[in-house]
Structure 1
């Protein structure tokens, strides 16, 4: 058997009964968290462009487009709903030593596949757990960031695996679906370096589109390279290097090691953001009192959001640049008291107060802190005030990290906060209840609720 055949065997044999009660609850928490992020993103600039695109191209009416009365093909639904979940950059993450990914990026595709196949909620959770396990474990053993590739590369295997599971493909077709997707979607890391574009939030939705498309092709009998992992010029040979992963020994519990964002900001900023707000609350200083802010942090955070190898983080003019700039994130937190979607509105980003304060922030990588990552998210914060006082705080995690997990109640609060502009209280409570009891309902019952959300400018109607 080839490696992809072993993986396909894991996918087809995975069962809802294999999930611990803790994993089932964490999956439901992440579904609700992801829907909150998706509904909260309805007015995002590229989301509006996608709605215009879908109005133009239409699609066979198999799957729900969130917050519209329109339906489209599973692959386009995976793209649009995935883009909603991803755009705010507020959804969950998984930290491996050489890679960081957002496993809930798979939900848009798995939801579309499960709806099109008329699955029950427990089958949705089963397929989503498969996608989480595949993406997280490949991130553990086969990181690609250092080779210049994006974390969506491992996601191409995960989304095809999850969609194949939701569609109920047998082992051979599942293997071909994964092989097609893994061969076709090796994305460049330039998506998240230098000047950031809309593609930062659309790269994984595009992978979700491709992985769903691959599974639909495999369903019809299209074949893919069976040695996609270990073959000549395959994933190991060309990108990742040699690794080993025994899928026969894998479970479905990796979701319990993923983490949720407390603040609407890049994941590696979470402990530092919580820390500066704690310092401000404890000492009562104003931003006018600040002379400088020094952040000592682990090297991954420095390179991605602190001004290291992925580019300067003190030139901030767009939402995509702002949510990947640690100087911006901690500065706007101190100025506004939180970091939510409104902190990334163009008029907020351009204000002189934030543009001035972020220039006072220095970020340094510290080896001793780097050695504690990813088991911890450590940082040391020093805020020097104009009167010479130095306020210092050290952090090892934040609320939402797996050492301090968020509760269902906290996630429901996040859901209410992000969705209140587009829903009434009754609809919000009904969606929360549906997700909380997902294993007892059909997927179409949930997607029907998502059509009742009010999209700005009237949504997509396809002439209806």
Structure 2
């Protein structure tokens, strides 16, 4: 058997009953979290543009769009994936050489599960498969240092989850994964330099392509059987040799993923906690800051601190702001929080935060770098104009795997991020379905999601 065929056997045999109670509970928390941040993005300008395009193109009304309407599964995968990704408030997984967001797979898996009128248990099992494939490939086959985006591993993960949700045979699953993995090797320039909308749309695009690949495989289309190990395959051209013993894999990786407490890039979470600790001390005033000096681990410095992925002091839009450690620390010190409101255009361009972010100095620490990814260390020292020095260190935060969200904490975040788009009745209904999803049908969840928002004539026609 080839490597992709061995992976397909793992995908085929995976069952929800294999998951521990803790893993299943954390998976449902991530479903709640992902859907919450998706709802919170419904009125974002890029999302409205994508919705307008989707409505104009149409598509067989098979899979639900969050906020109303139905379309073809691959288009639903893109739209719902864009929703869950836009706020940059989703979950993350930290590997030594790669950071990914396994919840990026939810939109595609949900669209496929709805197409098959799947049970909630089937949907959760397929999503758990996507989490396992995504995280394990990130562990052993990182691609960021070679100039490729973390969506590359996702091409395999999304295809695996969608193929599972579609109830494909092992042969079809292998073809789906092979097609998707061969075709979707994205460049890291997506997240370097001046950032564009594509930062939040790169994975939805991969998820859409993976869904399309699985649908092709369901209709008999084949893909390269040696996509991993073959001549000019993934290992030879991009990742280098790696090994995963798929017959021995479980569905527990979700417990090693982490949720965001702050609406900020994942590597900033503990640093923001340190900033908020200092802000709460007597006598602190953001206006009196002379300089803020942060020591952090190398990955954080390279991605969001002004290292190899570009200057982070030129902040003009949301995409640049939520990947700028100077901006996120500055706005935390001024506003006392980093939530979606901190990315309003007028907030980003305000003089107070633009002035303060230029006083933030970021430096990588070899000592702290050795602690990553088991910890998320940060050392912040702030010097005030009167010479007073305030310091704080953090190794983790609430939401990290050392201090994970429970259902109540996840529900508080869900309520906060969706409160302007939903009623209390709607929030309760969605949360109750997700909490007991293994005993329900996927249609119960998608039915609720399709009734949120949406009032244009085109949307009413799609509902009809």
Indicate the TM-score class for this superposition, using the shorter chain for normalisation.
over 0.9
SS of the residue corresponding to residue 91 of structure 1 reads coil
Map of 1:227-242 to 2, 5 A cutoff? 227-242=226-241
Moved over 2 A (4+): 455-464
Instruction: Say how many residue pairs are matched.
Output: 463
The alpha-carbon distance between structure 1 residues 284 and 11, as it changes in their structure 2 partners (threshold 3 A), is farther
In the other structure, the counterpart of 2:209 is 210
Residues 411-439 of structure 1 show CA distances to partners (whole Å, capped at 9, x for unaligned) of 11111111111111111111110000101
Report the counterpart of residue 8 of structure 1 in structure 2: 8
1:330-359 CA distance string (max 9 Å, x none): 111111111111111111111000100000
Q: CA deviation at 1:284?
A: 4.2
| CA positional deviation for 1:31 | 0.2
SS in 2 for 1:209: helix
What is the CA deviation profile of residues 191-228 of structure 1, one whole-angstrom value per residue up to 9, with x for unaligned ones? 00000000000000000000000000000000000000
**Separation in 2, partners of 1:315, 1:263:** 21
**CA displacement 1:236-256 (0-9 Å, x = unmatched):** 010001111110111100000
Report matched runs for 1:58-207 at 5 Å. 58-68=58-68, 70-207=69-206
**Quick check: 1:422–1:455 contact (8 Å CA) kept in 2?**
no
Query: Is 1:295–1:364's contact at 8 Å kept on the other side of the alignment?
Result: yes
State the Cα deviation string for residues 388-416 of structure 1 (Å, max 9, x = none). Answer: 11111111001100001111111111111
In the aligned structure 2, how far is the partner of 1:395 from the partner of 1:283? Answer: 20
The residue number in structure 2 matching 1:319 is 318
**1:23 and 1:164 mapped to 2: Cα distance?**
22
Question: What is residue 224 of structure 1 aligned with on the other side?
Answer: 223
- Conserved 8 A contact 1:51-1:460: no
Give the aligned partner of residue 400 of structure 1: 399
- The corresponding residue for 1:384 is 383
TM-score normalised by the chain length of structure 2: 0.98
Aligned partner of 2:286 in structure 1 is 287
Q: What is the distance in 2 between the residues matched to 1:200 and 1:460?
A: 27
Q: Which residue of 2 aligns with 1:267?
A: 266
The answer on whether the counterparts of 2:279 and 2:336 sit within 8 Å (CA) in structure 1 is no
Q: 1: CA distance between counterparts of 2:458 and 2:44?
A: 13
CA distance in 2, matches of 1:457, 1:286: 46
Q: Residues 342-380 of structure 1: CA distance to partner in whole angstroms, max 9, x if unpaired? A: 111111111000100000000000101000000000011
Q: How does 1:421-460 map to 2 (within 5 A)?
A: 421-455=420-454, 460=459
User: What is the deviation of 1:43?
Assistant: 1.2
Q: In structure 1, list runs of 5 or more residues that go unmatched.
A: none
Tell me the SS of whatever aligns to 1:168: coil
Tell whether the 8 Å contact from 1:101 to 1:139 is kept in structure 2 after alignment. yes
- 5+ residue gaps, structure 2: none
Deviations 1:296-317 (CA, angstroms, capped at 9, x unpaired): 0000000000000000000000
How far the C-alpha of 1:460 sits from its partner, in A, is 2.9
SS of corresponding position for 1:460: helix
* Contact residue 42 and residue 455 of structure 1 kept, 8 A: no
* TM-superposition CA deviations, 1:74-97 (whole Å, max 9, x none): 100100001000010000000000
Q: Report the alpha carbon displacement of residue 459 of structure 1 after superposing the two structures with TM.
A: 7.1
Partner residue, 2:17: 17
Whole-angstrom CA distance in 2 between matches of 1:270 and 1:211: 31
